[in-house]
Amino acid sequence: MNSKLKWLKLSPPRILVLGFAAIILLGGLLLMLPVSNTSGRHLPFIDALFTATSATCVTGLVVRDTGLDFTTFGQVVIMLLIQLGGLGFMTMATLVALVFKRRISLRDRLILQEAMNQNTMEGIVRLIRKVMIYSLTIEAVCAALFAARWAFDMPFGRAVYFGIWHSISMFNNAGFDLFGEYRSLTGYVYDPIVNFVAMFLIISGGIGFVVMSDLVEYRKNRKLSLHTKVVLSMTAFLIVFGAVVIFIFEFTNPRTLGSLNWGGKLLGAFFQSVTPRTAGANTLDIGGLRQATQFFIIILMFIGASPGSTGGGIKTTTFTIMIGAVIAMIRGRDDIVMFRYRLAQERIFKALTISLLALLLVIMVTMALTTTESASFLSILFETTSAFGTVGLSMGLTPHLTTIGKVLICITMFAGRLGPLTLAYALGPKKGKELYRHPEGKMIIG
C-alpha cells in the first residue's frame, strides 16, 4: 500500500513525462480516425502515433504528407497538438485555472517551474500570463501578415486558414506545413515577406519566454538579465555565422544557392541558418545541400534553441557554458565569467551532463538506425539529430522509415522535447542528499 501511495505522489519530471505521453496518445487516436485522413480509412496506428509525437514534441518530421494526406479535421488536430506541445500542457492548464479563478497550488507551481526550466518558483504564474499574451499576440499578427501575402496566391478564406496554421507552426518551431509534396517553403525562396515573417516567428519562439519578457520590460527596467544577454548574444552569433558558412559552402551549388540571384542567395542562406534552431521549415532542398553543409546543420540542430522556449536541442546557454569552460581551462582560470558574472559549479556540471546525455542518445539511436534502415550514415545521423533537436528538417529518410525506425525516432523526439535531464530524473530513482563526502583522489587527465 505504501509503495502505491509513493507512486501516486509523482515528482514534477514524472508528471511532465506522463502528461506529454497522454497528449500524444490521445492525438494519435484522433489522427487514426477515418475523418482525420483523406483516404477515409483508419490510419495505421504507428503512423498516427508518429505524427502525434512529432506535433506534440513540435518537431515536424512526417511520415504522411500533412497537406495532402490529412483532412481539415486532421490538420486542426495537428495544429492544436503543436500549440499544446509548444506552450506546454501545464501552461495551458494554468491558463484555464486562471480564467476560472482557481488557486494555483504549490505543487502546480513546482511542475510549472520544471516545465519552464526555471531556477525558482518566484513569479512563475506571472510569467505564464506573459507567455500566453506574448504568444497569442505574435501568432495573431504574423498570421494576418501571412494571410495578406497568401491572399494573392489562393482564395482569401484558404489564405486566412494557411496564415493561422503556419503562424502557430512556425512560432512553436514545429516545421509542419500544408503546401504538400514535402516542399515546405521552397516556393517562396525569393519572397521577403514570407521569409522575414517566418524567421521572426522562429526566432521569437526559440529565444524563450523569459528573454521575451526581459525585452518587453527593458524600457521600464533599463537592464537585461545575464541569461537574456547570453541567449541574445549566442543566438545572433549562430545565425550570422551559420548564414556565412552556408553562403560560402552553397554559393556555387546549382541545386541550392547556385541557381539564385544575390537576393535569393542571401535570403536562402539566412533562412537555412535560422531554421536549424529547431524550426524545420526550409526554402532550399535539404537533400540537395553539400555534405559539408548538411553536417554543419547537424551541429546547429544539436545546439538548438534556448531554455524555456518552444524549441529543443541542448540549448544555447548549455553550449555557451561548455565553450566558456574550455576557454577558462585554456587560460588557467578557475571560474567561467560572462558579462562580469561568475557561474556556479552546479551550472557547469548540469551543462556537461545535458551535453553528454544528448550526445549518447544521438549516438545510440544513430547506431540502431544504421542496422534497421537502408540509407547513408549522414542521412541517418541528420534525421536522428533533427528528431532530438525537435527540428523537423529531413534529407528525405523519414517517410521511408521501417516500423522500428519510426519507434526509435518517436522516442528521440520525446526525449528531445522534454530534455534528457528531465527524462533521466523522471525515470531514475529519487535519492536523498548524501550526508558524507569521500576522500579526494587524483587522476591524470589529458
Express each pLDDT in 396-438 by its tens digit.
Answer: 899 999 999 999 999 999 988 887 766 666 565 555 556 667 7
Taking only the tens place, the pLDDT of each residue in 80-112 is 999 888 876 556 555 555 555 556 555 556 655
Considering the domain boundaries, does residue 439 fall inside one?
no
Task: Please name the amino acid found at residue 16.
Answer: L
Of 176, 172, 150, residue with least CA distance to 161: 150
Strand ranges in 137-178 using DSSP code E only, listed in sequence order: none
Q: Which amino acid is at 52?
A: A
Strand partners, 70: 37
User: If pLDDT is split at 50, 70 and 90, which confidence band does 8 have?
Assistant: very low
Long-range contacts, stretch 371-380, CB < 8 angstroms, 24+ apart: 372/402, 372/404, 372/405, 372/408, 373/397, 373/400, 373/401, 373/402, 373/405, 375/400, 378/291, 378/294, 378/295
Position 130 in a domain: yes
Q: What is the pLDDT of residue 79?
A: 94
For residue 131, pLDDT over 90 is answered with: no
The answer, yes or no, to whether residue 341 has pLDDT greater than 90, is: no
Residue 433 is assigned to a structural domain of this protein = no
Mean of pLDDT over the chain: 85
43 SS3 class? coil
Q: Decide if 372 is inside a domain.
A: yes
Residues 6+ apart with CB under 8 A from 437: none
Q: What is the pLDDT of residue 4?
A: 45
Q: Is residue 440 part of a domain?
A: no
Parent domain of 114: 9-424
- Classify residue 88 as left (phi > 0), alpha (psi -120 to 50) or beta: left
Q: Is residue 444 part of a domain?
A: no
- Greatest distance between any 2 Cα atoms in the chain: 73
Residue 115 reports pLDDT greater than 60: no
Number of domains in the chain: 1
> Are the C-beta atoms of residues 308 and 214 closer than 8 Å to each other?
no
Q: How confident is the model at residue 159 (pLDDT cuts 50, 70, 90)?
A: very high
In one-letter notation, the amino acid at residue 432 is: G
Using a 10 angstrom Cβ sphere, with 0-12 exposed, 13-18 middle and 19 or more buried, the burial of residue 200 is: middle
Cα 316 from chain centroid? Answer: 12
- Do residues 62 and 413 touch, judged by C-beta distance below 8 A? no
User: Is 443 contained in some domain?
Assistant: no
In a domain, 442, yes or no: no
Query: Rounded to an integer, what distance in angstroms lies between the CA atom of residue 172 and that of residue 201?
Result: 8
Cell triple for residue 133?
499574451
